[in-house]
Structure 1
Amino acid sequence: MHILIVDDEQLQRNLLAGFLVKQGYTITEAATGEEAIHAFRHLPIDLVLLDHRLPDLHGDAVLAELKRINPLVRVIMITAYGAVDTAVRVMQLGADDFLEKPVDLTHLLKQIQTIEEGLYIARDVAQVEKVINTTDLPVRIVAASPAMQQVISLVMRAAPSPWTVLIQGETGTGKELIARLLHLLSPRKAGPFIPLNCAAVPEGLFESELFGHEKGAFTGAVSRRRGVFEQAHQGTLLLDEVGELPMMVQAKLLRALQEKSIQRVGGEQFVPVDVRVLAATNRDLKQMTTDGTFREDLYFRLNVIAIDLPPLRQRKEDIPALTHFFLNKYHSKAVIDDQAMGQLTKYAFPGNIRELEHILQRTITFARSPVISLRDLPAEVRTFQNQTIEGDLNTRLSEVERQMLIEALERSNWVQTRAAESLGISERVLRYKMEKLNIAKKR
């Protein structure tokens, strides 16, 4: 990571540069705003540590120019003048954080590492968008929200490995889509992708579905049949709703995963299989191991890599793009007006993406106009009540921000570090906003 340190004090630059070089970062220094802008234009700078008071240009002006050159640049403002109005202004201009002098180096390093992780995630998402042919997927991958960008980054890093992956999430969050993406990004993409919905298999046929059977193995077995393990040879097998597997079958699945071979029902020989196994569930397998309904050893065998999919209500930034995708998918010429889109965004979507798709299918079927308005939405969406926010624009924006912060804190059990990470801000900024908006945990 390449960091530009901008400060007119040589001692301060030496202190920061010496510390960050020891952490493995590449450092460029600038003593004035003009030097900083010149260096930024000619070097691949990822992050700028910017002093607010410079001899030639004000820090606000330098920040604005850096953002004009590259709107994606990450900036931490450093100031000896920690007034609240300064903090508010630099955050509005696009700074990621602000620190007071003397700089707490431990805190600075933590903030840099958070920003660095965000940059890695953004690069992973961009790489996925380049290499994936979205026509191979039943639904377009939409990842405008930080929560989904984190998921895509995990998929990008997990896909090349041979390990089993456990995909967890509520019904309708797109678990099979993520499994297909893992397959398409893996070295096995030329092989088959075989999904098996464990919830749809009768209990007496599980072994035959998984491992196949020999001719005459049971009544109706008129010929040899390959199970999904053999069908997925040199490819990927998705065990969807894996929590529905009976205990007896769980033991045999565990053995197949460990031995990398299967035995057909009614057969005597072990058949080697080369399969990467993915598992998906909307159930809490960890709790099921405690309850004795799921084998603990199988749980740990499947949970080598875990990917948790957020529900749609926690990634509302993705709703407009998903809406437009589904309208195009069904060849609809309809457009959705701002009021209807706003109501869709407010809705809680207990059925997640699948429910959004079905809502849009109904809406475009019954809409009397090519412009979808609020009245065209189903009653459960149209009448859904969220907190009404009154007042001028600044008041309404503040209340929206307040609600987002409270939701993130509640999801994180009021652990501020986790809440800040889910919002894509630093813990320091979160504490500042909590104080500004008078947010405190109710006792």
Structure 2
Amino acid sequence: MNILIVDDEKMQRDMLKGFLVKQGYEVTSAENGQNAMDLFLQQPFQLVILDHKMPDMNGDELFAKIKEINPLIHAIMITAYGSVDTAVEVMKMGADDFMEKPVDLLQVLDKIRMIEQRIITQKEADDVAEIIENQALPIKIAGNSQAVKDVLSLVQRLAPTPWAVLIRGETGTGKELIARLVHLLSNVNEGPFIEINCGAVPENLFESELFGHEKGAFTGAASARKGRFELADNGTIFLDEIGELPLNLQPKLLRAIQEKRISRVGSEKDIDINVRIVAATNRELRLMAEQGLFREDLFFRLNVFEIEIPPLRDRKEDIPILVDFFLDRFSPRKVSFDPDAMSTLMKYTFPGNVRELEHIIQRTITLVRGSVITSRDLPLEIRYHQVSQQGTLSQRLEALEKELIISALEKYEWVQTKAADSLGISERVLRYKMKKNKIKNLSAVLWKL
């Protein structure tokens, strides 16, 4: 990494430079803002460490100019002790971090290594995105958060290896999508990708599903049949919801993974297999192993590499990107979200994660009449969630009552008799509550105008 140090104090400038050169970094120093600008235009730098207080140009002014030239530049600002306001402003401008004087050299090194790791992660994530785009892979990864970049970076490193991968994450986070990406970036990507949901196959049929069976092996086995492992030979087998695999079948799966050999139900002949194992779960397999609910040796066989996919509530900056992606994918006409609707979505916790957001978009664009989606067009549980998180009990109950009334009126196209019947109240009471909550049919008002 090439580093530029900007500080008008020669002693601190030389101390920092000498220390970082010993750590193996390429370091150039500048004594003022103008000198730094000249060097920045002449040489490529990935990181700038700059003092905030300098005679010719403050650090924030210099950083703003450097950022205009290279928006991807990383920066650490050195500020006077207690300059919290300055630090906050610098971070808003896009600096990676700040430090107070006197500078701790080991702390500087730690911050630089963290930035270095982010740069590497970004590069690996960009490489994956470029492969997906240029090779026209049949998947799309929507998201630009650091969490998504970390996942893509990890996939890029582990995909070419032959080792097993365990993908962990809540329901709806996109575990199957990442499993397919591992396969497509692997050395067996020309082979098949075969998946099996371990929670959806009846226990008495599971062995046959995994390993196949011979004709007459059991009642109903009218002909020989290949299992998923055979079908996945020279490719990838994806064991979804592996935590649901019955305990009595786990030794047989372990043997297949260890020995790379299976035998069909009703056969004494072994069949060699060559498959990449990718498993996924929304359960804590390590805890299950400690409790005797999952074989510990199988867990360690599956967990050579682990990818954890964060829930959507922990990467909300991806929501607008995902919304645009789903609108492009599902909407037959040009539809957009207004700012209030997007704000309402951003405040929702999405217990069903990306899959829930996908279904919300599908439902909303199907029912919306116009080309702009407002917060009123969103499902009741999302609209109510926004108001249910604040206020006193009576305020929350009033907000819920208002939402229920509006929802009923919209469902029956503002026919008050039908809405009142669905709510179990009289039409007179409904009109009273509408007046109390200032509920009006705005479309009818606009039509009269």
Q: Structure 2 counterpart of 1:378, which letter?
A: P
Cα deviation for residue 241 of structure 1 reads 0.4
Question: Structure 1 residues 33 and 385, CA, compared in 2 at 3 Å: closer, same or farther?
Answer: same
Aligned match of 2:87:
87
CA distance in structure 1 between the aligned counterparts of 2:54 and 2:373, rounded to whole angstroms: 53
Aligned residue for 1:132, secondary structure, equals helix
Greater RCO (Cα-Cα under 8 Å, separation 6 or more):
1
1:30-71 alpha-carbon deviations (Å, 9 max, x no partner): 222122112222322111111223343222221111111112
CA distance in structure 1 between the aligned counterparts of 2:365 and 2:176, rounded to whole angstroms: 26
Q: 8 Å contact 1:233–1:275 — kept in the other structure?
A: yes
Q: How does 1:20-419 map to 2 (within 5 A)?
A: 20-80=20-80, 82-133=82-133, 136-137=137-138, 140-333=140-333, 334-385=335-386, 387=389
Q: Structure 2 counterpart of 1:96, which letter?
A: D
CA distance in structure 1 between the aligned counterparts of 2:17 and 2:354, rounded to whole angstroms: 47
Structure 2 residues without counterparts, runs of 5 or longer: 392-449
CA distance in structure 2 between the aligned counterparts of 1:164 and 1:308, rounded to whole angstroms: 14
Cα deviation for residue 318 of structure 1 reads 0.9
CA distance in structure 2 between the aligned counterparts of 1:160 and 1:279, rounded to whole angstroms: 16
CA distance in structure 2 between the aligned counterparts of 1:332 and 1:126, rounded to whole angstroms: 30
Aligned residue for 2:327, secondary structure, equals helix
Cα deviation for residue 220 of structure 1 reads 2.1
Q: Structure 1 counterpart of 2:371, which letter?
A: P
Cα deviation for residue 235 of structure 1 reads 1.0
Cα deviation for residue 143 of structure 1 reads 2.5
Cα deviation for residue 136 of structure 1 reads 3.8
Structure 1 residues without counterparts, runs of 5 or longer: 390-443
Q: 8 Å contact 1:37–1:66 — kept in the other structure?
A: yes
Aligned match of 1:437:
none
- Number of aligned positions between the proteins: 388
Aligned match of 1:403:
none
Q: Structure 2 counterpart of 1:221, which letter?
A: A
Q: 8 Å contact 2:3–2:49 — kept in the other structure?
A: yes
Q: 8 Å contact 2:142–2:325 — kept in the other structure?
A: no
CA distance in structure 2 between the aligned counterparts of 1:2 and 1:61, rounded to whole angstroms: 21
Question: Structure 1 residues 83 and 358, CA, compared in 2 at 3 Å: closer, same or farther?
Answer: closer
More divergent stretch after superposition (86-95 vs 1-10):
86-95
Question: Structure 1 residues 246 and 66, CA, compared in 2 at 3 Å: closer, same or farther?
Answer: same
CA distance in structure 2 between the aligned counterparts of 1:63 and 1:46, rounded to whole angstroms: 13
CA distance in structure 2 between the aligned counterparts of 1:223 and 1:84, rounded to whole angstroms: 75
Cα deviation for residue 7 of structure 1 reads 2.0
Q: 8 Å contact 2:261–2:272 — kept in the other structure?
A: yes
CA distance in structure 1 between the aligned counterparts of 2:15 and 2:35, rounded to whole angstroms: 19
Question: Structure 1 residues 80 and 382, CA, compared in 2 at 3 Å: closer, same or farther?
Answer: closer
Q: Structure 2 counterpart of 1:355, which letter?
A: E
Q: 8 Å contact 2:155–2:182 — kept in the other structure?
A: yes
Question: Structure 1 residues 80 and 361, CA, compared in 2 at 3 Å: closer, same or farther?
Answer: closer
Deviating above 4 A after TM superposition, structure 1's stretches of 4 or more consecutive aligned residues are: 386-389
Cα deviation for residue 291 of structure 1 reads 1.8
